Chain A
Amino acid sequence: MSEGHAAVGAGTAQGDGHTVVGTAARRGDAAPKVTGGARYSADVRLPGMLHAKVLRSPHAHARVVSVDPTRARALNGVHAVLTRDDLGGLSPTYGYFVKDQPVVAIDRVRYVGDVVAAVAAVDERVALRALELIDVVYEPLPAVPDIDAALAADAPELFEEAPPGVVPPYGTGASGRLRPRRNVCYEFRYETGPEDAWAECDHVFEDTFVFSRMNHFHLEPFVTVADVRGEQIEIWTSTQNPFPLRKELARVLQIAENRIRVHVPYVGGGFGAKHNCKTEPIAILLSRMAGRPVRYCLTTEEGFLTLSQHSAVLTVRTGVLADGTFVARDSTVLLEAGAYSDGSPLVAEKAAYRMPGPYRWKRVESSCECVMTTTTPTGPFRGFGATQSTWASESQVDMIAHRLGMDPYDLRMKNLKGLGEPFVPGESGIDSDLAEGLDVVADALGYHARARTPNRGMGLAIGFKDGGGVNKPAQARVKVSTAGDVYVNCGTVEIGQGASTALCQVVAEVLGVPLRRVVYAPINTDVTPFDQGTNASSGMTVMGQAVLRAAEAVRAQVLEFAAGRLGCAPADLTLRDWAVRRGDEVTPLPGLIMAVFGGTGFEFSGSGFFKAPNSREAPLDAPCVFWEIGWAGAEVEVDPDTGKVTVLQLVASGDVGKAVNTLICRGQDEGAAVMGLGQALFEEMRFDDGALLNGEALDYRVPMAEDLPERFVSITQEQGHGPGPFGAKGAGEGAMVPVAAAIANAVHDATGARISALPLSPERVFDALQAR
């Protein structure tokens, strides 16, 4: 273990009787990934496979007057051209709550990069040449480059007619609305507590924060290989949610779900981007037209034109008592949704809902609107609204502390919720000791002993989000062969997070077999049990509970079977190394099984299911499964001549409850924290009048190893309060969420300058220093 990591908390206790859980077991995907043998959707090759490319709009906003594919179709090597004239019989728009994104442009294009037509040809070069032969006539319309332009009274309406949309059921205090005003596709509101709480406040502070937009920059591009044969559609695709994808594809294609088989090989990163329809509809439609398999793989540049994080403007009004006690908070969030709604309404729910942060309030009001602009659509991104809300909330907490003459640490400690205290009425209790976590990070940083050196300072922040998704069901199956070889069959996608290994560890622990005997089955929606998606840090707390129950069901069956054969009670037996033990007597199972089922043997198979119970009391219709908390502390040095911020130390920590695999948990926190570091300092999709300026790898800077702070420490907290197997919680997002605010708070501590917009670029910091 390197010096850059530590593990603390009750959950780390040795001698807890576990043999597989709580170890740094080698991942099941290690050998394929380090040898180059791992196969991703990008590697799928089928006989006769064609290659797809798409024509993209050069206009930010235009009416599509005509699309003529005649010349493209005539090009040698072209097998299919898809335009709006080929959408007959389909329900040709998709989305989450709002179905507004067309498979290819129908009446308008709404951003530079919007898909107008698609070609399948013998190779990508021919497909690209064919795109030049598609004749499109546009009638340009005024662009809507940003939130201000979209909300202006005379702004052009991006959707003149309301696209189909739904508002999901909400519980107490929460509500949603489609198209509340021009160019807003969705609004979410939440409120709780008495309005007259504001009257108690000695001070009310209102501040506005700006959050910049990152690209996911997953290294495996968006890619789908589709093979349509008659009525059967088979795809291999780089997705995080194969089952909702299948449902959406069936709706778009107007066919039965069981005609679509989705395979998910290894996924080369997603960070939220790879949900719902991306490359899939076009690959399928081209394959259907051409009668041959089609591979549709985007370039990195096209990835920038497909989905990104939400930029946001967040206004927070906070009322406090003179002694710093928090009383009321009213937050207004504007998320930039881009040209199509994608997951924006869901992110809006969370951005608003999480605005109170981990603190006690008498009154909370939050709203979030998704504002449509003529830019790349925005959607799920690691943090899912919490990165935005925490940026504003945790920056403002420090500002309030300084206005009251308090240390920000003390102000946080004064107002943090206690362990077990519900987040809001009807919600589950907070399952981390928030104060303990803050102390872990403050101590590791040396916060309390910091010297007052000019231009150097420290800052803290607490990232806060509900984890495990909303009302999310998961099913799993575990089966064991005669010889004791175990399969785990579930829909959690191995996207790098290590879930395939950690879930196998849970099963190995329950069944008393070595980890190497447990295999994670590939995902195929025809046979894999249902799962809502690999997101919301839900792998261990939601699917983990389903997998645990499936393994326990198998164990119960095996023990019952063996007890029947041995003439004892199941409770008299224990299961280890695929033998049952009663006292000193060890009976191997294969012989027992074959004595009953014959020499060809048998498989024991158990199912498991988990879902948080529905509740009308819970604002989001079901209580949160677990609370994903991330604590961060930063020490910075600011160059007063250039505004350059150097992060000297970054300490980031998540509470995983119990680390099922210690290496995997560490990796989740460190990867998340470094993504937060990029967000804080330099990562940003830059637009000029709605045109993306840096949409490629050369110009868009992601953190490299040389960007790591001199001292970067991740701390895995295992506080032991999680709802998942063995006390586990989720991981993967929490440690990203507080990093930007911690660094901005450190910059203020160092210089007295408050930067309320991201990223903390030298220009922005320099300007703030001048304005002091």
Chain B
Amino acid sequence: MSEPITIEFDLDGERRSERIAPNTVLLDLLRDRCGRLGVKASCERGVCGACTTLIDGAPVASCGVFAFSLDGASVETVEGQGSADDLGPVQRAFAECGGFQCGYCTPGMVMLTTALLREHPEPDDELIRSWISSNVCRCTGYQMISDSVRRAAELAREERG
């Protein structure tokens, strides 16, 4: 195996430096080294989206990204979006609208929605459906997730004033 390399990146707003094997995948780095157990591992084939994080603002399945490519990048996970007693607007919307059941897809759905609303603060139903079609939810049937995204857009609007 090749020599370990050192990467520096921002994780949920904090600068980190990690020494990693070159074949380390971002998902494993986040879960095993950075303690981000909120990032969920499921299919590990880039299909289900449970491990979705934002890299420089773009939603990415972290199971399909080599960690070395993050050098100098900014990574955002669900754990940077709020805490149990101070939920972020997207998190609040999913909590209020019941846009989750088992919760395993939820961190990914929250990050996907965060990215969507940054790019399209006023998404219509078709755009919402098209965005959330990149992630699998086996529990909800998606309609209450769509409701959550619409509600998140409202809450974000209120926050902007």
State the A residues within 8 Å of B (CB).
1-2, 4-5, 24, 26-27, 29-40, 42-43, 217-221, 266-269, 271, 299-300, 495-498, 663-664, 666-667, 670-675, 696-698, 702-706, 708, 712, 714
Contact = CB atoms under 8 A, between A and B. Distances in A.
A34 B100 contact: yes
Contact of A40 (B43, B104, B129, B139): B104
A390 B72 CA distance: 57
Contacts of A31: 84-85, 87, 95
Contacts of A33: 100, 103, 106
Contacts of B37: 36, 39, 43
B101 A266 contact: no
26 contacts: A27-B98, A30-B95, A31-B84, A32-B84, A33-B106, A34-B82, A34-B94, A34-B110, A36-B38, A36-B39, A37-B38, A219-B40, A219-B48, A219-B104, A266-B102, A267-B102, A269-B138, A666-B98, A666-B144, A667-B101, A667-B140, A671-B139, A675-B138, A705-B129, A705-B130, A708-B141
B45 A714 contact: no
A219 B136 contact: yes
Contact of B103 (A38, A698, A702): A38
Given A220-B104, A697-B45, A667 B98 contact: yes
B79 interface: yes
Given A33-B103, A219-B136, A220-B102, A670 B42 contact: no
B110 to A, nearest CB: 6
B77 A36 contact: yes
Given A34-B100, A35-B87, A705 B145 contact: yes
A271 B102 CA distance: 11
A663 B43 contact: no
B10 interface: no
A667 B37 CA distance: 26
Contacts of A5: 143
B102 A495 contact: yes
A115 B127 CA distance: 45
Contact of A300 (B44, B85, B92, B98): B44
B154 interface: no
A670 B144 contact: yes
B142 interface: yes
A30 B148 CA distance: 13
Contacts of A708: 129, 141-143
Nearest 7 pairs between A and B by C-beta?
Answer: A36-B38, A496-B102, A33-B103, A268-B104, A670-B141, A496-B101, A674-B141
A30 B146 CA distance: 17
Given A35-B87, A268-B40, 4 more contacts: A32-B84, A33-B100, A220-B104, A697-B43
A704 B107 CA distance: 17
B102 A219 contact: yes
Contacts of A664: 98
> Of residues A24, A35, A672, which shows the largest number of chain B Cβ atoms within 10 Å of its Cβ?
A35
Nearest to A30: B95
A133 B67 CA distance: 30
B87 A671 contact: no
B99 to A, nearest CB: 8
Q: B interface, by DSSP: helix, strand, loop or mixed?
A: loop
B26 interface: no
Contact of B136 (A266, A497, A667, A704): A704
B38 A35 contact: yes
Contacts of A496: 100-103, 139
Which of A27, A30, A39, A42 has most B Cβ within 10 Å? A30
A40 B40 CA distance: 10
Contacts of B40: 42, 219-220, 268
B147 interface: yes
B153 interface: no
A111 B40 CA distance: 30
Contact of B129 (A217, A697, A706): A706
A35 B143 contact: no
Nearest to B38: A36
Contact of A35 (B82, B129, B133): B82
Given A705-B142, A708-B142, A219 B50 contact: yes
Interface string B109-127: 0100000000000000000
Contacts of B36: 36
A663 B147 CA distance: 12
Nearest to B96: A26
A408 to B, nearest CB: 26
A299 B136 contact: no
Contacts of A1: 147
A428 B141 CA distance: 32
A269 B139 contact: yes
Given A27-B98, A33-B106, A42-B41, A667 B144 contact: yes
B133 A706 contact: yes
A267 B102 CA distance: 7
Contacts of B103: 29, 32-34, 38, 266, 268, 496
Contact of B104 (A27, A269, A702): A269
A704 B94 CA distance: 18
Interface string B8-22: 000000000000000
Nearest to B130: A706
Nearest to B98: A663
Contacts of B100: 30, 33-34, 496
A129 to B, nearest CB: 12
Contacts of A706: 129-130, 133
A35 B136 contact: no
A712 B145 CA distance: 14
A36 B39 CA distance: 7
Contact of A671 (B83, B110, B141): B141
A715 to B, nearest CB: 13
